[in-house]
Amino acid sequence: MSAVKKILFVVMDGLGDRGCKALGGMTPLQATSTPNLDWFTENGGSGVMDIIAPGVRPGSDTAHLSLLGHDPYEVYTGRGPFEAAGIGMSVKQGDVAFRCNFSTVNENYEVTDRRAGRIKAPETAELVKSINGMKIKGVEIFVKEGTEHRAALLLRGKGLVPNITDADSHNLGPVAASEGKGKKGEFTASIINEFVRRSHEMMKDHPVNLERRKKGLPEANILLPRGAGSFPKIRSFGEKNGMTGACVAGVGMIKGICGICGLDVIDLPKECTGGLDTDMIRKADVALDALQKYDFVLMNIKAPDISGHDRAAEQKCEVIKRLDEMAGHLKDNMPSDLVIVFTADHCTPSEVGDHSGDPVPVTIYTETMLKDEATKFSESGCAKGSIGRIRGYDLLPICIDLANRSEKFGA
């Protein structure tokens, strides 16, 4: 058996696209010169990948579960636990987690602004201090502020279930009462309803809100939970694959998913954000460093997805130029015993402004890789390759085998 290799996934978030009118019918990848990405395609093997299944529009969360070798239909238990983990809360087996909004209610307990004027930290962090750590009917309640007006909520205790309705009606008007079926459902819903009521009691005259009242801003005087989910039963990455692994990502949700899957989450320098302006070369260096210690590294770069959501095809081309420079940096600095993958977690077509179910391009390169007919890293270019059309969760086993780490099936 040959010596084992290490594996790097370069996940360019939302990179895949469809033909764009602004680009004369081409995709941003087709319309942009990418000599470094093309080098990998020319010297590696390529194909296209249905992240979940043909025509299924993945979220970044379910997409990353699939890239890490899981069938998302088996392990995805709602956004709550992944988001909570993503902002640094330690989610445990049995916890029920929610996403929340800081919202505004009037004196009649009617929602007048679901985002409390898009309040953000440090005000949200101050407010959280007043509601974090309470106990209702023996259930411990943890709250942490997220980005902008968002927060995550964890319930920890006995007899909790996630299948209850949202206390956030997603509309203006009366605050919805959460409801659940059966004894446990009713119990969990009662905890949430009591928590929502208390959050209002404790925040309505909070100094942060007195200050906002003075300025005429919407007060963040209630926390509305939605999207309940329980901690998923996921076999840890190390145990499942016999490798150590780490993730290099700027976005909380991606970090959360990778953490729950058993990857170590690497702290990034502040110039490596989850935004458009992230320093991609620096991020690549962090990933290369991590490869000295870990067998597997997943690096996520969010920027192309942001351009797709903004419906900015030309901006996406600019992002792709920077991604190509990063690919060049990896080409010049990567270790020789590496299996490196360039792909996306889904398409975010620039004229759609959201994720689509189109397959994404994928190129796998390692020394002695069987070369194929594909020479251009793009949706159509990669489709010419020998890997054909695979599912998202096929990618990791293929790479584990190329890294000489797979176990033989049979004698």
Supply the minimum distance, in Å, between the C-beta of residue 111 and Zn ion: 26
Among positions 57-76, residues that touch Zn ion (CB under 5 A) are 60
Closest approach, Cβ 309 to Zn ion, in A, equals 6
User: 59 or 245: whose CB is closer to Zn ion?
Assistant: 59
17 forms part of the interface with Zn ion (CB under 5 A): no
Phi-psi region of 148 (alpha: psi -120 to 50; beta: other; left: phi over 0): left
For the bound state, the minimum distance from the C-beta of residue 365 to Zn ion, rounded and expressed in Å, comes to 22
Question: How do strand 173-174 and strand 245-248 relate by DSSP bridges?
Answer: unpaired
Decide whether 61 or 219 has the Cβ nearer to Zn ion: 61
CA dist 80 and 260 (Å) reads 12
Residue 30 or 60: the one with the smaller Cβ distance to Zn ion is: 60
Looking at the Cβ atoms of 65 and 374, the one nearer to Zn ion is 65
Interface residue with Zn ion, options 13, 95, 219, 379 (CB under 5 A): 13
- Tally of CB atoms within 10 A around 166: 17
3-state secondary structure of 68: coil
Output the residue with the shortest Cβ distance to Zn ion: 60
- Least separation in angstroms between residue 348's CB and Zn ion is 5
DSSP assignment of 158-210 equals: TT--S-B--S--SSSEEPPPP-BSHHHHHHHHHHHHHHHHHHHHHHTT-HHHH
Closest CB to Zn ion among 305 and 324?
A: 305
Residue 220 or 254: the one with the smaller Cβ distance to Zn ion is: 254
Is residue 302 within 8 Å of 63, Cβ to Cβ? no
Closer Cβ to Zn ion, 13 or 123, answer by number: 13
CB of 126 to Zn ion, least distance (A): 30
The tokens describing 378, both together, are 């793009």
From the CB of 13, what's the least distance to Zn ion, in Å?
4
Cis geometry, peptide bond prior to residue 58 (ω within 30 degrees of 0): no
Window 287-326: contact mask with Zn ion (x via CB under 5 A)? ------------------x---------------------
For Zn ion, give the closer residue by CB, 14 or 218: 14
> CA angle, 131 as apex, 126 and 134 as ends, to 5°?
145
Residue 217 is given by DSSP the state P
10 Å Cβ neighbour count for 302? 23
Taking each continuous run of H as one helix and of E as one strand, the counts in the chain are 15, 15
Q: What is the rounded CA–CA span in Å between residue 225 and residue 222? A: 10
Which part of the chain contacts Zn ion (CB under 5 A), choosing from 14-22, 34-42, 75-83, 291-299?
14-22
Q: How many amino acids of this chain bind Zn ion (CB under 5 A)? A: 5
Cα(237)–Cα(263) distance, integer angstroms: 6
Q: 6 or 346: whose CB is closer to Zn ion?
A: 346
Q: How many Å separate Cα 180 from the centre of its chain? A: 28
Residue selected from 17, 168, 279, 345 as contacting Zn ion according to rule CB under 5 A? 345
Which single residue is written with the structure tokens 């009037």? 106
* Minimum distance from residue 345 beta carbon to Zn ion (Å): 4
Window contacting Zn ion (CB under 5 A); options: 69-77, 186-194, 219-227, 340-348: 340-348
Q: Which residues in 33-62 contact Zn ion (CB under 5 A)?
A: 60
Interacting residue ranges for Zn ion, rule: CB under 5 A: 13-14, 60, 305, 345
